[in-house]
Every structure is written in structure tokens, then in C-alpha cells.
């Protein structure tokens, strides 16, 4: 699965977003270490702060399909999803909360995660490593000294 393939899936997923309040549709496609793919899109709510981001929606599907610890690569794309194709010329990088959720998957799997960020039209692509997007983040590894997690 190439980055272009994964971006195409993220762009298609964005068209299934429920984003009536922001008008900003985001799609996310997650590839596992074994080549399985799941997708998700943002889902908003009349109580605005309860909206769900595309990455967290896709991470939920990833946990269900193959397990968070198997996440290898993630593509995100966002923009105007009101037409037949997603539009927009600015790459979408995961928000802070999504970086934290991705860090959980990364530390569970013991591997860095490639994050491919695309503009809505797919024309602009940025590649990042999660470790750069959330440097020195707090994750499950940091709980090793707790009474519940310590060995
Ligand atoms: N959004 C995502 O789905 N992922 C991100 O990483 C950034 C923001 C969504 C949340 C909200 O529904 C809309 O984009 C506007 O913020």
C-alpha cells in the first residue's frame, strides 16, 4: 500500500464525515504492520465539544480490526467535503488530542508511526513521524512505575 493509496482512502473516508457545524471534513486511513487498512472520519455533535476527530474514529476501528499495537502508518486529509470529491489545499496535521491517542498506539506497539498529511485535494503532502509531532509525550511507557502497571 503506497502513501498515495492510503491518502486516497483517507480522502474518500472524509466524504463520509458528519461535520455540519465546522463544515470541515476529515478522513483518516490507518495501515497495520500486516497490511490491513481501516478508515474513519470526524463526527460532530450539537454539543460542539463532544465531536470526534477522524483519527480517533479510525483508531477505534484499528483496535477492533487488528489492535492498536499494530498501527504502522496513518494518512490524514481534510477540507470541503460537500461535493463529489474532497477539496482544499492545506495539509491537515493531527490535532493535539489525536497525537496523544496515536502515541498510545505507538508506545503499545513499540514503534514510531509514519503520519502522512494531505490537503483535501491530495495535491500537497507532508510526511512526519509521530515522535516529532509529539516529542517527549506522556504515554503508557510513563506509567511503568505505577502500582497498577509496574512489574
Ligand atoms: N478534526 C479532525 O477530525 N482531526 C484533526 O486532527 C483536526 C480536526 C476535525 C474536528 C472537527 O470536526 C473539525 O475537524 C474542525 O476542527
Concatenate the DSSP letters of all residues of 116-138 into one string.
EEEETTS--EEEEEHHHHTTT--
pLDDT in tens, 58-100: 999 999 999 999 999 999 999 999 999 999 999 999 999 999 9
Using DSSP bridges, classify how beta strands 114-119 and 37-41 pair: parallel, antiparallel or unpaired.
unpaired
How many Å lie between the centroid of ligand 1 and the Cα of residue 103?
18
For residue 93, the ligand 1 atom closest to its alpha carbon is 6
Q: Where are the alpha helices (DSSP H) in the chain?
A: 3-14, 54-65, 96-109, 130-133
pLDDT in tens, 85-144: 999 999 999 999 999 999 999 999 999 999 999 999 999 999 999 999 999 999 999 999
pLDDT in tens, 14-45: 999 999 999 999 999 999 999 999 999 999 99
Q: Tell me, letter by letter, the H, E, C secondary structure of 16-37.
A: CCECCCCCCEEEEEEEECCCCE
The residues carrying an active-site annotation are 55
Cell 510513563, residue? 142
- Judge whether residue 151 has pLDDT over 70: no
Within its chain, how far is the Cα of 58 from the centroid?
6
How much is the pTM? 0.97
Q: What is the pLDDT of residue 101?
A: 98
The class of domain 3-143 in CATH terms is: alpha beta
Q: Whose CA is nearest to atom 10 of ligand 1?
A: 53
Q: What is the pLDDT of residue 149?
A: 67
- Computed over every residue of the chain, the mean pLDDT equals 97
Distance of alpha carbon 148 from alpha carbon 47, whole angstroms: 34
Amino acid at each position: 500500500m503506497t502513501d498515495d493509496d492510503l491518502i486516497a482512502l483517507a480522502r474518500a473516508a472524509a466524504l463520509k464525515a458528519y461535520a455540519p457545524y465546522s463544515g470541515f471534513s476529515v478522513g483518516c486511513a490507518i495501515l497495520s504492520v500486516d497490511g490491513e487498512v481501516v478508515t474513519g472520519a470526524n463526527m460532530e455533535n450539537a454539543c460542539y465539544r463532544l465531536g470526534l476527530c477522524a483519527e480517533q474514529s479510525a483508531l477505534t476501528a484499528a483496535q477492533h480490526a487488528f489492535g492498536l499495537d499494530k498501527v504502522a502508518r496513518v494518512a490524514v486529509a481534510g477540507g470541503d467535503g460537500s461535493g463529489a470529491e474532497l477539496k482544499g489545499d492545506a495539509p491537515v496535521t493531527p490535532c493535539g488530542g489525536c497525537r496523544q491517542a496515536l502515541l498510545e498506539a505507538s508506545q503499545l506497539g513499540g514503534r514510531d508511526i509514519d503520519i502522512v498529511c494531505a490537503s483535501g485535494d491530495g495535491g500537497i503532502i507532508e510526511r512526519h513521524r509521530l515522535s516529532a509531532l509529539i516529542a517527549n509525550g506522556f504515554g503508557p511507557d510513563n506509567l511503568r512505575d505505577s502500582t497498577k502497571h509496574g512489574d
